[in-house]
Structure 1
Amino acid sequence: MRLIIRDDQESAAYYTANYIKKRILEFGPTSERPFVLGLPTGSSPIPVYKHLVQFYKNKELSFEHVITFNMDEYVGLPRDHPESYHTFMFSNFFKHIDIKPENINMLNGNCEELQNECQRYEDEIARVGGIELFLGGIGPDGHIAFNEPGSSMKSRTRVKTLAYETVLANARFFGGDVNKVPKLALTVGVATVTDAREVVIIIAGAHKAIALAKCIEEGVNHMWTVSAIQLHPSAMIVCDEDATLELHVKTVRYFKSIEQVQEQLIGRDNIGLKGSISSLSAMNKTSGSLV
């Protein structure tokens, strides 16, 4: 697992957006071979979406051959409600880019058969060949999507009852009225996320510091569902300095030193996008002291 630490939320967001841009460009999506991208809602991804939109406006990136799957949606909230995740995604991202409407996949929290909707979503992910990269954010309690503490690490897309603390926290979006906050949501499962070929998590702010520490320095624990990415073969966390406040100093220095070695001793041109050594012979020429 890679941990990329940046000075502040803005620089962490730019790194994340730029990484996604490079991954899409490297993939070279076509109509026959689209890039499948998993997406979150919440405060952390908003600046990421702003940068991705700007890349599109600058003609640096196209989403014409990108298929998206969102993580979750409230049950019983109209799609056009200002707090629905459907509204969130279109306001912050989809309506600003060239993605095809038929390539946008979101859970329908207003269907009659919720269990069937969850299975349909899993089937659709499988039909397009699985998710290439799943972008995620987390809550202060380490939950990813609506997989709150106690969720199974093998969970799939399902109906989820929200914890009372989550309902209270979300009341601020509903005029402070707890009664207006949906109590159920449809969410991808932990296993749905970790089945993606790559997982990128963005974490910003001191209020997420304990969750980051649990994910990085402790074991896999269903009470901190984001920790499941420890077992993923291609996972990366991008965070700001504030989010590292609960990490041991040696942990922060370790991950920063990896970047330093890659940049200064191995050379950026010799490092693949995912952090692997792309050319041993070129690296030998760059620094004979390493061989």
Structure 2
Amino acid sequence: MRIAILPTPEDIAVVAADRIQSLLERKPSAVLGLATGSTPLPLYDELTKRYEAGEISFADTQSFNLDEYVGLPEDHPEGYANFIHRFLVDRVDFPKGAAHGPNVWTGDNDQAAADYDKAIRDAGGIDLQILGIGADGHIGFNEPGGSFASRTHVDVLTEQTRRDNARFFDGDITKVPTHCITQGLGTIMESGEALLIATGAGKAEAVRQLVEGAISARWPATILQMHPNAIVLLDEPAAQGLELADFYREVWAKHQA
């Protein structure tokens, strides 16, 4: 696991976009795993800027969202399929139909989850998975206590997660769905590269556990300590609980040199 502590979310976006651009230059048909929420928005803005400048293309690329709410209408603006189109897919040159998400409107969510996991495998797997982290350490919507071997599945959203996401629903937790379909931790761990972004002091404890804590289902993101190619991009507030912060800065600087 490589750790970068950077001054601002915009600096993080540049580093993350560099990783994605390098991947697409080597493999234009790469499969990207896309995260939603506010954390990756600076990255999606940076990718859009590079596309508009002619520096990057998604014309041969596929993407798979990490997760999707269960219970929202298909056209709800906070549904993650709509979110990712609004903030990235429709702003660049993804081919029509190349951006995928769990189909939670079939009436059989367990089958939809299994079908989605198979679709990822059939696409050759995810080359680079973008991740955020919840205050309770979840990645995707894999809440504390879940299986490290889990595949894409239906899950229950904790009150903490729903409270955190209420800001997208007019601050009203009662409007936040209680269930989702999410890529499992086992699915996420099969990605070629895991690129986790965390910003803000509210993520500091989860980041401390992720980077320096024991691997534990209490903090699901800690499974990334076992990923062969994981990069964690942090701003200063998110990194404030790390005891070895100076070491990580030194290693990252030498890696970049």
Could you tell me the TM-score, scaled by structure 2's length? 0.96
- The partner residue of 2:64 within 56, 66, 69 is 69
Q: Which amino acid aligns with 1:7?
A: P
CA deviation string 1:175-230 (max 9, x = no partner): 33333221111110011111111111011111111111101111111111111110
Paired with 1:169 and 1:114, the residues of 2 have a C-alpha distance of 24
Which structure 2 segments of 5+ residues have no match? none
Residue 97 of structure 2: SS of its match in structure 1?
A: helix
Kept in 1, the 8 Å contact 2:3–2:252? The answer is no
Q: Who is 1:253 aligned against?
A: 246
Q: Who is 1:200 aligned against?
A: 195
CA deviation string 1:32-80 (max 9, x = no partner): xx20110100111000000011111111000011110000111121221
Residue 149 of structure 1: SS of its match in structure 2?
A: coil
Q: Who is 2:24 aligned against?
A: 24
Q: Relative to structure 1, is the Cα distance of residues 255 and 111 closer, same or farther in structure 2, using a 3 angstrom cutoff?
A: same
How far has the Cα of 1:106 moved from its partner? 0.7
Paired with 1:231 and 1:156, the residues of 2 have a C-alpha distance of 17
Q: Who is 1:279 aligned against?
A: none
Paired with 1:218 and 1:169, the residues of 2 have a C-alpha distance of 23
Fraction of identical pairs, as percent: 37
Q: Relative to structure 1, is the Cα distance of residues 253 and 71 closer, same or farther in structure 2, using a 3 angstrom cutoff?
A: same
Matched ranges for 1:18-57 at <5 A: 18-25=18-25, 27-29=26-28, 34-57=29-52
How far has the Cα of 1:172 moved from its partner? 2.9
How far has the Cα of 1:28 moved from its partner? 3.0
Which stretches of structure 1, 4 residues or more, deviate above 6 A after TM superposition? none
| Larger RCO, structures 1/2 (Cα 8 Å, 6+ apart) | 2
How far has the Cα of 1:143 moved from its partner? 0.6
Residue 185 of structure 1: SS of its match in structure 2?
A: strand
Segment drifting more, 165-174 vs 185-194: 165-174
The structure carrying a bigger helix percent of its residues is: 1
- The partner residue of 1:88 within 83, 93, 96 is 83
User: CA RMSD for the aligned pairs?
Assistant: 1.3
Kept in 2, the 8 Å contact 1:142–1:226? The answer is yes
Matched ranges for 1:177-196 at <5 A: 177-196=172-191
Q: Who is 2:14 aligned against?
A: 14
Kept in 2, the 8 Å contact 1:73–1:85? The answer is yes
Paired with 2:238 and 2:117, the residues of 1 have a C-alpha distance of 32
Paired with 1:72 and 1:185, the residues of 2 have a C-alpha distance of 7
Q: Who is 2:98 aligned against?
A: 103
Q: Who is 1:288 aligned against?
A: none
Residue 63 of structure 2: SS of its match in structure 1?
A: strand
Kept in 2, the 8 Å contact 1:77–1:110? The answer is no
Segment drifting more, 165-174 vs 96-105: 165-174
Paired with 2:151 and 2:200, the residues of 1 have a C-alpha distance of 29
Could you tell me the TM-score, scaled by structure 1's length? 0.85
CA deviation string 1:88-126 (max 9, x = no partner): 111101110100122111111222111111111111111
Q: Who is 2:235 aligned against?
A: 240
**How many residues in Structure 1 have an aligned counterpart in Structure 2?**
257
Residue 208 of structure 1: SS of its match in structure 2?
A: helix
Q: Who is 2:131 aligned against?
A: 136
Residue 237 of structure 2: SS of its match in structure 1?
A: helix
Residue 59 of structure 1: SS of its match in structure 2?
A: coil
Q: Which amino acid aligns with 2:40?
A: P
Paired with 1:170 and 1:241, the residues of 2 have a C-alpha distance of 23
Kept in 2, the 8 Å contact 1:146–1:160? The answer is yes
Which structure 1 segments of 5+ residues have no match? 269-291
